[in-house]
Structure 1
Amino acid sequence: MPRQSLAFNAGSHNQQLNSILACTQNIRSSCDTVAETNRTIEHYVGDFPRLRTVMDNKRHFGLVSESDVRQARNYVAAEIAPLLRELIVRAEDALSKEERYARTLRTQATQELADLEVRSYPQTKSSVPGTSPFAEDDTFSPTTLEEQQELLEKLQDQRKRLTEKVTQLEQNAQNRSPQSSSMAQ
């Protein structure tokens, strides 16, 4: 094919210009479409960095079927039930030991109170009413009377302490009784 002349050819030059003009308009239209697409995409994905941060910082839970939940609950119950039974038996044993100990202390306190009352009243030789416990034939000196008063005060203090201890043990036993019944359930 012969080489085209570089000289000005108005017909071909006009056709080339129209072709270039059409290409430029198509490129402009494409750029406008791309710009509009970018704006639309930016509108919809502009929140993604924030959402990604939120998703990274929060735990996500998947949905689990009810049968899986039942199966897991049954497995845990099977694992824990023997341990619970053993703990309940131990708690009942400890509670019964504490109750026996409280009964023993209560018995001791009752015995000590009875002994205290026996010691607190001076014994007389005659049990005839109207006779003084400090009759002339009794040999009570002021020192023995003072000793007996000191002994009486000591015994009264001991009685008070024992009564408080019994009350405290009874309260402990009462506090433990609801716990053992709730553990049995």
Structure 2
Amino acid sequence: MEVDSRHAYFMKQALLMGEKALESGETPVGCVLVHHDRIVGSGMNDTNKSMNGTRHAEFIAIEDMLRSHPKSLLRSTDLYVTVEPCVMCASALRQYQIRAVYFGSILSLHSDFTIDPPYPVYGGLFRKEAIMLLRRFYIQENEKAPKPRPKKNRELKTMSEEDNALSLAS
């Protein structure tokens, strides 16, 4: 997928929030809410620090936005997030009637268009960077995890040339 400079800028801002989450010991998910080419909210995962599994980046970004903007603004707002929103976040985004979602790594949870109202979803923006951010998190120990598993022999697997070519062709 070719990324225009506008989408690239906002996706890079989401990746910076993901980096900030990683530095804080959180799952490296970051996002920004964009209205008329201006960031109106941002968030990063806070599940480990808060010990609350619902403190996902998307919810934090929405809370951030709602501090200074009405809820109705979400109908004309786009979300840029490092990974595809989970089922819980996707449901909230539909209820808030978000205009569109742009994300990095690809899963495909949002293919059920029988649920109203649907929103456009654009995956694969900075896919390689989003995947590497997650890999950097999962290679380390998570002190907040219920039963940590040793990760002594894990190696960081980078994108191969073939994966990189596929990423660029998407």
Give the TM interval when normalised to the shorter protein: under 0.3
TM-score by length of 1: 0.19
If you compute each CA radius of gyration, which structure gives the higher value, 1 or 2? Answer: 1
RCO higher in structure (CA 8 A, sep ≥6): 1
More helix by proportion, 1 or 2? 1
TM-score by length of 2: 0.21
More strand by proportion, 1 or 2? 2
